[in-house]
Amino acid sequence: MLIRIAGLVPESFVDGDGIRLAVFMQGCLRRCEGCHNPDTHALDGGRLVDTAEIVAAMKRNPLLNGITLTGGEPLLQIDAAEELARAAKNFGLSVWLYTGYEFEDLPPNADALLANVDVMVDGAFVVALRDLNLQFRGSSNQRIIDVKKSRAQKKIVPWSDIGR
């Protein structure tokens, strides 16, 4: 399957817990003031690659703890995001997802993707709430959510790295 990406970071230490393959997906319509990745906005920007190339990159790096789907807005290419998330889970990798959607306001077709996501950082960046001291997020409205527990308990359960 083809996916339009702005770029890949083979070993990121800042886009989630541990060492992660970060996939910066191309395309976002939100135009948040102060966005750090304006180059990812154009829907026809970046470059098209085959998801198989990204899956191969996951497979060949034994140091990875997981992958991170970020952007841009990953949910604009939800089928490709789901394919990558499913492949990562099959390799025993964790999956983090950054999205401008809030957990309570996800599109109905996000369910299959979410079933393969461990942690979601939700909500659009709000420049007035920007805080450089926050871990793994840019503004304090964004939440780091344990997706599996939140789905099971039908309420937002914050992600915690305690005991990991």
- List contacts with ligand SF4 (CB under 6 A): 28, 30-32, 35, 37, 40, 71-73, 100, 124-125
Q: Which is nearer to ligand SF4, 55 or 99 (CB)?
A: 99
Q: How many Å apart are CA 155 and CA 158, to the nearest integer?
A: 10
Indicate if the alpha-carbon torsion angle 116, 164, 61, 143 is positive or negative.
Answer: positive
The least CB distance from residue 33 to ligand SF4, in Å, is 9
How does strand 119-122 pair with strand 143-146?
antiparallel
The least CB distance from residue 47 to ligand SF4, in Å, is 17
The least CB distance from residue 163 to ligand SF4, in Å, is 30
The least CB distance from residue 92 to ligand SF4, in Å, is 28
Do you know the residue count of the chain? Answer: 164
Q: Which is nearer to ligand SF4, 56 or 127 (CB)?
A: 127
Q: Which is nearer to ligand SF4, 33 or 161 (CB)?
A: 33
Residues 6+ apart with CB under 8 A from 50: 1, 2, 3
Q: Which is nearer to ligand SF4, 143 or 148 (CB)?
A: 143
Nearest to 69 by CA among 131, 147, 1, 9: 9
